[in-house]
Structure 1
């Protein structure tokens, strides 16, 4: 499987990013479409509003968030399949807006896609 990279929406895009996919349900504040240089916005793959609200980016809830999000992804094959197809075509960078670069939906999604 192709390597999956992660990058904050507020970091400058680079040619080495490959396909840039925004994986947040909400658009990043203060960033224009042109600045992001996205290939796609897959908001349907983001955690549900209920799960996102429950998690609240609380590191103490991280493990449980990963478990719950993986269950949502298991039930959402229609959203996961197109992303897996993109991975077969080359490097993919999952773009996210969260300040916490270690505990966010893009990190959990990457682990899910890599089977961790």
Structure 2
């Protein structure tokens, strides 16, 4: 199993494998057809409270990441993603954030790696 992350605004490709949106909110300006999703995993996204605190910069990224990892550890959505990875050779996690390195999908990718998944980081 290999997990990768990609902005939902980028074109889909055959190399993406299973495409999973990991945002709680639908990304602006993207139609469902253009997104070419296989799944929308809302529950793996940060809680609304945590997302709002990060969005309004009430927390630094390190604190946000630590809180998000705690949410992933406490819930079942991360484990469900790991199971999806066992069923498919490649899973691309899609996100809408502008910053490709400082976002919840990057934290999720690290969490998956810490739980035994092979990950491919953005170049």
* Partner in structure 2 of residue 44 of structure 1: 43
Count of residues in correspondence between the two structures: 113
* Partner in structure 1 of residue 54 of structure 2: 55
**Structure 1: tracts of 5 or more residues without a match:** none
TM-score by structure 2 length? Answer: 0.86
CA distance in 1 between counterparts of 2:93 and 2:101 reads 13
CA distance in 2 between counterparts of 1:95 and 1:15 reads 14
* Partner in structure 2 of residue 83 of structure 1: 81
CA distance in 1 between counterparts of 2:2 and 2:61 reads 23
Pairwise CA RMSD: 1.5
CA distance in 2 between counterparts of 1:8 and 1:69 reads 19
CA distance in 1 between counterparts of 2:113 and 2:56 reads 22
Q: Are 2:7 and 1:8 equivalent residues in the alignment?
A: yes
Structure 1 residues 34 and 48: CA distance shift in structure 2, 3 A:
same
* Partner in structure 1 of residue 65 of structure 2: 66
Deviations 1:47-75 (A, max 9, x none): 011101111275x7111111000000111
CA distance in 2 between counterparts of 1:57 and 1:34 reads 31
Deviations 1:23-56 (A, max 9, x none): 0000010101110111100001100111011112
TM-score by structure 1 length? Answer: 0.91
Structure 1 residues 57 and 100: CA distance shift in structure 2, 3 A:
farther
